[in-house]
Amino acid sequence: MSATVRAAPTGDRRYRIHKTRIEVPGVDPRVDTLLGMVMQLMSEVSVLRERVDAHERLAAAQQAPTPDAVDDYVPDEAASRARAAVRQRMIEKVCRPLLAADEAAEAKQKANGQDRDA
């Protein structure tokens, strides 16, 4: 689930919650909500990291890192590859418990399947 902030005609902020998945019987829906929150926070951290990277690269190029300059910054190929590597490392690190649990479940399923065949 993710939230979108939209300005109402009166200037107030409204939060819309987007439901992305159908509830699975026997699974606590709060887990899905928590997972959505973690993924959204990870997305925000990724954006912040890219903005800090833009600040650092502008400063290294002796350019003023103004908000407009940071917004208009277009990374070169090397910077894009470096950002992609940092982003991939963060995804792997944050999602490691999910991937480990999935791998453990697959291993258990294979072990149970081999026990039945024997």
Kindly list the domain boundaries of the chain, sorted by start residue. Answer: 29-111
Q: Determine the longest span between alpha carbons in the chain, in angstroms.
A: 70
Residue type, 5: V
Say if pTM beats, i.e. exceeds, 0.75: no
Q: What would the two tokens of residue 51 be?
A: 């903005």
Question: Residue 98: what pLDDT?
Answer: 84
Alpha-carbon span 93 to 88, nearest angstrom: 9
pLDDT value at residue 68:
94
Q: How confident is the model at residue 5 (pLDDT cuts 50, 70, 90)?
A: very low
Q: How far apart are CA 89 and CA 45, in angstroms?
A: 13
Residue-wise pLDDT for 48-106, tens only, equals 999 999 999 999 999 999 999 999 999 999 999 999 999 999 999 999 988 888 888 88
